[in-house]
Structure 1
Amino acid sequence: MRSLLMQQGLWAQLTAKGNEKKADEKDDKWVTLAEKAHSTIMLCLSDDVIIEVANQETAVALWTKLESLYMTKSLTNKLLLKQRLFRLHKQEGKPLRDHLENLNKILLDLRNVEVKVEDEDAALILLVSLLKSYKNFVESFMTGKETLSLEDVRSVIHVREYRQQATSSATESQASGLSAMGTGQKKSGKKKSKSKGGSKGFHPGDICRYCKEPGH
């Protein structure tokens, strides 16, 4: 969130230096930027967090409240963040992207309270957090490895996901093609059968109704 505010040129509204610099000015531009900073922060929050900070009307007050709630370096907060990390599990049906973003957010929150998670530990936690359907993949990936990095795990999981999506798409296309082919063959068979049954060709036993002679 801090990076987003900096990118949009709104971080100064939240710093003591920035507020002192503009304390006497209070011009329309500064007020507009402060309001924009407030709304930007609110848009980044989940509903349950918004409930806790809804009465904070300025960007500075809002940021201060968030820091007191979630950025405190107390032992209790560190414990809660570590519990979130160790209990992390990929939800069935949820996109892999969402799961990885959730992990990144937890790691960032821990870093903000000065809790360092070793890269290899984070990689192992990610592997353990995957669904049971990943079991063979994880065992194959770990075979023969002596070191592990979070980036390596992310990359190989993405590759697996892309391959599965490509295979699924190819299977669906093939099934659709076979279905269309089968439908076409059925229609063709019906036409041939109808044509054969409805044919009125020459029969040797027929007698001409004009000359009363058989054979034509």
Structure 2
Amino acid sequence: MSSVVRIEPLNAENYDTWRLHMRAILIKNDLWSYVDGSKECPSEPTDADVWRVNDQKASADIMLAMSASELGLIAECENSREMWLKLESTYQSKGPARKATLLKKVALARMKQGEVVRNHLNDFFDAVAKLKQIGVEMGDELLAILLLYSLPSSFETFRCALETRDELPKPEILRVKILEESESQKANEEKCDNEVMYVKNMQKKQSHFRNNNGSKN
């Protein structure tokens, strides 16, 4: 008996992550071979009955991991393989519309001041990876430039320092450098906050000392 593993239901936004999770669940339940087409329905009636039972289990796993709004997509599918291919063709289109959407995510990405740097980087490189999957590869230098200019004004000095070099770092190396710069900025902010707090405390103590001396006089 397979244990229950819950994942975020498939919706219009999360197919790529859902696909990885769903595949892992089907493998765990020994059902992936029905979905990927490697285990076809046998001709012998008894074996065919067993195949259909397992295929129905795979179909059920897929359906139970989908949002109600998406179930209409697979309503006419007769087996788990058809379901998988239907979802793949729907959400992993290689047409111009999907390419344009992903290209805009990369080219127009802008990190807001105060946004979590790691989240911004994950979104940027996720879009780059999806473009690569559908046959669109961007050069390292172009990606590095786009990534640098997606950063907020607090990274201006960092950006200028890198642009003065003869060659920009590779995107993955730049990713690490951006994270390091973010941590450095946080450390400096904390240091400044501590210094401000120290000055304020000293001013309070001095004011208290003067007030006490004034009352004694």
- Structure 1 residue 149 displacement after superposition: 0.6
Q: Read off the aligned partner of 1:182 and give its amino acid letter.
A: Q
Shift, 1:163, TM fit: 0.8
For residues 47-74 of structure 1, give each alpha carbon's deviation from its aligned partner in whole angstroms, at most 9, with x where no partner exists. Answer: xxx85x2545798777545423331222
Alignment correspondent of 2:52: 24
**Coordinate RMSD, CA, aligned:** 3.5
Aligned residues: 185
Gaps of 5+ in 1: 43-49, 198-216
1:109 match: 130
Distance between the aligned counterparts of 2:149 and 2:83, measured in 1? Answer: 36
Please, which of 151, 158, 161 is the counterpart of residue 140 of structure 1? 161
Aligned to 1:161: 182
Between 1:9-18 and 1:67-76, the stretch displaced more is: 9-18
The answer (yes or no) to whether the contact 1:127–1:138 under 8 Å persists in 2 is yes
Q: Partners of 1:141 and 1:157 in 2: how far apart?
A: 11
Using the aligned pairs only, state the percent identity: 19
Work out whether residues 85 and 106 of structure 1, in 8 Å CA contact, stay in contact via their aligned partners in 2: yes
Q: Output the CA distance in 2 between the equivalents of 1:192 and 1:61.
A: 87
For the residues of structure 2 that align with 1:175 and 1:109, how far apart are their CA atoms?
46
Structure 1 counterpart of 2:38, one-letter code: K
| Distance in 2, Cα, partners of 1:60 & 1:189 | 83
Please point out which of 89, 97, 100 is paired with 1:76: 97
1:24 counterpart letter in structure 2: R
Larger-gyration structure (1/2): 1
Alignment gaps of 5+ in structure 2: 1-16, 43-49
Letter in 2 for 1:25: V
Corresponding residue of 1:92: 113
**Corresponding residue for 1:170?**
191
In 2, the alpha carbon distance for the partners of 1:17 and 1:26 equals 14
Could you tell me the TM-score, scaled by structure 2's length?
Answer: 0.66
CA contact 2:144–2:168 (8 Å) conserved in 1: no
In the alignment, residue 203 of structure 2 is paired with which amino acid? G
Cα gap change, 1:168 to 1:133, in 2 (>3 Å): closer
Name the counterpart of 1:128.
Answer: 149
CA distance in 2, matches of 1:184, 1:112: 63
1:144 CA displacement: 2.7
Q: Which AA in structure 1 matches 2:129?
A: L
Partner of 1:184: 205
Shift of 1:38: 5.3
Give the Cα–Cα distance (whole angstroms) in 2 for the partners of residues 125 and 107 of structure 1.
11
Give me the whole-angstrom Cα distance separating, in 2, the residues matched to 1:90 and 1:160. 15
**Contact 1:70/1:77 (8 A) holds in 2:** no
Cα separation, 1, equivalents of 2:134 and 2:158: 34
